[in-house]
Structure 1
Amino acid sequence: MAGLLVAGTTSDAGKSTVTAGLCRAFARRGVRVAPFKAQNMSNNSMVVRALDGTFAEIGRAQWIQAVAARAVPEPAMNPVLLKPGSDIGSHAVVMGQPAGTVSAATWREDRAPWAAIAYDAFDDLAQRYDVVVAEGAGSPTEINLRDSDYVNMGLAQHASLPTLVVGDIDRGGVFAALFGTLALLRAADQALITGFVINKFRGDLRLLTPGLDSLQQLTGRRVYGVLPWHPQVWLDSEDTLAVPAHVGDSTTAIRRVAVIRLPRISNFTDVDALRLEPALDVQFVSTPADLAGADLIVIPGSRATVADLDWLRQRGLDHAVVAHARSGGAVLGICGGFQMLGEQISDPAEVESDRPTVRGLGLLDARTVFSTGKTLGLPVGTVWGVPVEGYEIHHGRVEIDGAEPFPGGVRQGRVFGTMWHGIFDSDAFRAAFLEQVLGAPPSGVSFAEARESRLDLLADLIEQHLPAGHLLELARRGAPDDLRSVPPGGA
């Protein structure tokens, strides 16, 4: 099996970015490459078509990695997706379909069947592609979970994958993190760690060189390279650690967009396209004062709609949103945010909460009823004479009374609700919305072209700062058999 595992010292160290960059770099060399992540824990997801034509759900990061690889996204690329609904429980998606819930109490017993499914999915991709670039999860040195691990070194052992470890120097302590990650692994796992990548470096590389030399001498592993921090690199994230506080140039923007940063926010990539608009200053906010002066308030998706609606009320954000709407301000609710804007949320089957009925903000004549069945789709439509498309992932069914239709939902005055994610990715719709609702001039920005240019930029950085050709050969030939163990080992 030709493959490579990209592990990391922590969450958000850069595993997803390096994986995507390698996928694009290999694809540009004519290699048929597929991304893979055995288990993803994220509320950012995407709808794709399975090989049998049915709709399925995978992590958003694996979707963008497939785009980078110029491959068709499919469930095998992310066989297990966990969507946190609370601090101790998650909704499971297995091979793209709902598979109940998992809690801390049932964690270990659930992992065994998932491991078998994940290994089969990896093996299937390895049969159909030249190379599989797998992304780990969190850190491979979660020694309390190693016996049941199938995402990091468990996967590496299954497929004999040479593994590189990515560390984020922006956080500090990167040398200790890289050395400690290796040293705490079992000897058999250490034998698959072939080298390191340092990510997000700013400054003079000469100052880093003594540390790189020492790390190589201490570990016997190569530092493959140092990737610089670059302001134009961004990807569809899977981790809420990546939600920015502020995006845009407030000195040139003519309209301000306030996106409420819900505690259980999901699919916050819905506003990525707005971040490219030069007329917009996009901010993620969490207090009523932050909403003052906003031209548009966006309530994004949520994996726990009722709990996040309670959070809005606890912080007084509900009154601020209602006051903004009643004074003529524009409000957009997407999926869970749409449900919050309605009259009522009912959950008789206790899909998301243990409360059968909850009052909404009352800004839209709509009612939501949650059921165990899940809606997945890739809908298309037309509004203001322009096409729009998106994707649907939700349990709630919204009932609408007598309001003006809007793609995936409803409009009442300057309050909009939609169950479709990704609507702003449609350039013509985004331009029409900004002009009709905010009076912002069209920019001519193509979101698809911007995404492609960023993936190519990422591949360029990989080619410039890492030995991409060597890593491709490593993926094909496997880890060398002369890598020494590093104490303490045997963890």
Structure 2
Amino acid sequence: MVAGTTSDAGKSVVTAGICRWLWRRGVKVAPFKAQNMSNNSAVVVDGQGRGGEIGRAQALQAVAAGLEPQIRFNPVLLKPGSDQTSQVVLLGEAVGSIDAANFRQLKETMSAAAFDAFDELRREFDVVVCEGAGSPAEINLRENDYVNMGLARHAQMPVVVVGDIDRGGVFASLFGTVALLEPADQELVAGFVINKFRGSRELLEPGLQMLGRLTGRPTYGVLPFDVDLWLDAEDALAYGRVLGRPAAPIGEEWLRVAVVRLPHISNATDAEALASEPGVAVRLTVEPGELAEADLVVLPGTKSTVDDLEWLRRNGLADAIVEHAKRGKPVLGICGGFQMLSRRIHDEIESGKGEVDGMGLLPVEVSFQRNKTLTRPQGSALGAPVHGYEIHHGQVVWRDSDVPGLIRLPDGTQEGAVVGGVFGTHWHGAFESDEFRRRFLTLAAGISGRHGFKVAAATNFAALRTATVDRLGDLIEEHVDTEALWRVIEQGPPPGLPFIPPGAP
């Protein structure tokens, strides 16, 4: 198990890196996360063509392990819709919502499903690399835990704790994480990995030695900060953040893309495909002024379409988007963002607020249905093949017959809409189709007057994602004592690890 001192400590990337390292050694390895809390999900299609959802991190870890993603890799996915409730996706299927009132009741069902899925994987694979959630030292959640030390105890598996040194206080965090665990949990903590280190290793060494003396546990490695690891980084969607390191433009001009960082943003990884192109600068923002300055505005997916639409209006962002479109600049809405651009939204399912006016930029109406659409469709758009995936309750129930479709499915039905420079689609992942992405960006640049912008001819998004998991494997091999890690995988945590009472030393 790869646990962490905090969220975003690096559990996901370390888990993926270990999977890649083991896969390179010829080990039959699978990733696993008992419960993920994220609105960034991927659609997995089983052998019977049925769709289900898992966290995107586990989908990337599956790629690192040389596997097609499976629902069992993330049996419980919680998708926050507010500060108080989350949608529960159990074994890929949305089964209801969880809040403080029904937490204990549902937790028993979720833990049973998670343990069963893990036990199946353990029988089928040589190694299962499990990612924890949050921190194992969240002592308020330890009772009946099945995600961190509860899972480790269930399997008697060794635990490596990852700490993010970039945040500061990493030694206190690592020590305190172990010290807050009860004795039987501490016995499973084999050692540590420090993540996102910048600077001289010599200056860090005294701290590593003292941590070892205080805890009786080694630090297996120190991973450097790597600015190229930005794909599928679901916990790093910060305001004002520029995605990736945009390469210099091929032509004479940049294309500036502003992605609205919605409160309940989901699958913002769609923007990463746009950011992979040279000369495309993609920024996540909540500032109306940055939308006004952009060439292309993107409204991404959201788990709470109506609530986030109200937030856009309160903060002046909805007016800025409408004004952007009126000035003839392109606007793109994806999934929930597409729904916000409609004339009207009927929602008794997600928000329960009934009929709500959309921004009116696309002549369609959307109605939320109880059953969620989960598919991985293929089609064509702008004269190029395109594939994607759909995750949404909202359905287009009316459209102006004169509105052309953005994406045409093989059966001839139309999905999405485009009017002038305003585009909308329910398809996530469409911009991972290289030729379609290039044609769309060329079209958007022309609409915005960026005639000096040119797309590259050879950007391959799938290859970039593969390079990411290869780099993760490289980091593990180069900066972690893999022989010691292999012994822990084979033999479990070393016997006789000391107990650290709270308040020690």
State whether TM-score is above 0.5: yes
* Aligned-partner Cα distance in 1 for 2:464–2:231: 11
| Partner of residue 23, structure 1 | 19
Q: Which residue of 1 aligns with 2:479?
A: 465
* Separation in structure 2 between the aligned mates of residue 184 and residue 254 of structure 1, nearest angstrom: 51
Match of 1:141 in 2: 137
8 Å Cα contact 1:59-1:238 kept in structure 2: no
1:395 paired with 2:393, answer yes
CA contact (8 A) 1:259 1:297 kept: yes
Deviations along 1:370-397, one digit per CA (max 9) or x if unpaired, are 0111100001111122100000000011
Aligned residues: 484
Q: Which amino acid aligns with 2:416?
A: G
Aligned residue runs from structure 1 range 336-347, under 5 A: 336-347=336-347
Distance 2:454 2:314 in 1: 37
User: 1:251 & 1:25 partners in 2: Cα distance?
Assistant: 32
After superposition, give the CA deviation of every residue in 1:244-289 in whole Å (9 maximum; x if it has no partner). Answer: 6123559756110010010110000011111111111111111211
Partner of 1:154, secondary structure, is helix
The runs of 5 or more residues in structure 2 that have no matched partner are: 408-414, 447-452
Q: 1:424 to 1:243 in 2, by over 3 A?
A: farther
CA contact (8 A) 1:44 1:237 kept: no
* Equivalent residue in structure 2 for 1:482, among 477, 496, 501: 496
1:89 aligns with 2:85: yes
Q: Does 1:442 align with 2:440?
A: no
Normalised by the length of structure 1, the TM-score is 0.96
Q: Retained in 1: the 8 A contact 2:239–2:286?
A: no
Identify which of 181, 190, 193 aligns with 2:177. 181
1:243 Cα shift? 6.7
CA distance in 1, matches of 2:223, 2:95: 38
Q: Secondary structure at the match of 2:484?
A: helix
**Which of 363, 366, 389 does residue 365 from structure 1 map onto?**
363
Structure 1 residues 197, 429: closer, same or farther in 2, change over 3 A? same
Instruction: Please state if 1:43 is matched with 2:57.
Output: no
Moved more, 221-230 or 237-246: 237-246
Matches for 1:57-96 after TM superposition, within 5 Å = 57-96=53-92
Aligned to 1:324: 324
Residues of 1 paired with 2:35 and 2:47: CA distance? 20
The amino acid of 1:325's aligned partner reads: A
Q: Which residue of structure 2 aligns with residue 305 of structure 1?
A: 305
Deviation readout 1:186-235 (Å, 9 max, x if unpaired): 00000000000000000011000000000000000010010000111224
Q: Is the 8 A contact 2:368 2:395 kept in 1?
A: yes
**Local SS of the residue matching 1:268:** coil
Change (3 A) 1:241 1:255: closer
Q: 3-state SS of the aligned residue for 1:17?
A: helix
Paired letter, 1:361: M
Q: Kindly tell me: are residues 123 and 309 of structure 1, through their superposed partners in 2, closer, same or farther at Cα, counting changes over 3 Å?
A: same
> Partner amino acid for 1:473?
R
2:283 is aligned to 283
Q: Which residue of 2 aligns with 1:222?
A: 218
Counterparts of 1:398-437 in structure 2 under 5 Å?
398-399=396-397, 400-402=399-401, 403-407=403-407, 408-437=415-444
- Who is 1:271 aligned against? 271
Superposition CA RMSD, Å: 1.6
The one-letter amino acid of 1:429's match is F
Per-residue CA deviations over 1:43-71 (Å, capped at 9, x if unaligned) read: 00000123544111100110000011111
The structure-2 alpha-carbon separation of the partners of 1:157 and 1:34, relative to structure 1 and needing over 3 Å to count, comes to same
Q: Where does the alignment leave 5 or more consecutive residues of structure 1 unmatched?
A: none
Partners of 1:52 and 1:217 in 2: how far apart?
54
Of 368, 371, 374, 2:372 maps to 374
Alpha-carbon deviations, 1:319-373, whole Å to 9, x = none? 11111111110000000000000000001xx311131100000000111100111
8 Å CA contact 2:80–2:303 kept in 1: the answer is yes
Amino acid paired to 2:444: V
Q: Which amino acid aligns with 2:104?
A: R
What residue number does 1:155 align with? 151
Provide, for residues 156-194 of structure 1, a one-character-per-residue CA deviation record: whole Å limited to 9, x for no partner.
000111000000000000000000000000000000000
Helix, strand or coil: the match of 2:139? coil
Once residues 46 and 264 of structure 2 are traced to their aligned partners in structure 1, the CA distance between those partners, rounded to angstroms, is: 27
Partner of 2:188: 192
